[in-house]
């Protein structure tokens, strides 16, 4: 492998990790906001929102694996 290919692979990995971290942090922030100021019209509990975020992360990982294959 050439140095440019290695750097490209490292940057790709870093961007994927950053996307997952940002998604998790956003879900945590949303969860905290829902716990502090619950909406009387909210239909789903914060735990459902967290599970939806986790499912989105898993779907993104599957898409990345499909692209790499």
Look at the block and give the residue holding tokens 């986790």. 54
Tally Cβ neighbours within 10 Å of residue 5.
9
Q: What is the rounded average pLDDT of the residues 33-52?
A: 68
DSSP tally for the chain: helices H, then strands E:
2, 0
Task: Tell whether the model's pLDDT for residue 46 goes beyond 80.
Answer: no
Provide the token pair at 4. 């440019």
Proportion of the chain above pLDDT 90, given as a percent:
0
Contact 46, 34 (CB under 8 A): yes
Task: Tell whether the model's pLDDT for residue 65 goes beyond 80.
Answer: no
Which pLDDT band, with edges at 50, 70 and 90, does 13 fall under?
A: confident
Task: Tell whether the model's pLDDT for residue 24 goes beyond 80.
Answer: yes
What pLDDT score was predicted for residue 41?
56
DSSP 7: H
């Amino acid at each position: 492998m050439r140095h440019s290919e290695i750097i490209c692979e490292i940057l790709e990995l870093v961007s994927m990790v950053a996307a997952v971290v940002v998604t998790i942090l956003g879900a945590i922030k949303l969860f905290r906001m829902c716990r502090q100021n619950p909406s009387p019209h909210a239909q789903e509990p914060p735990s459902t929102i967290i599970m939806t975020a986790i499912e989105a992360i898993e779907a993104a990982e599957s898409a990345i694996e499909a692209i790499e294959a």
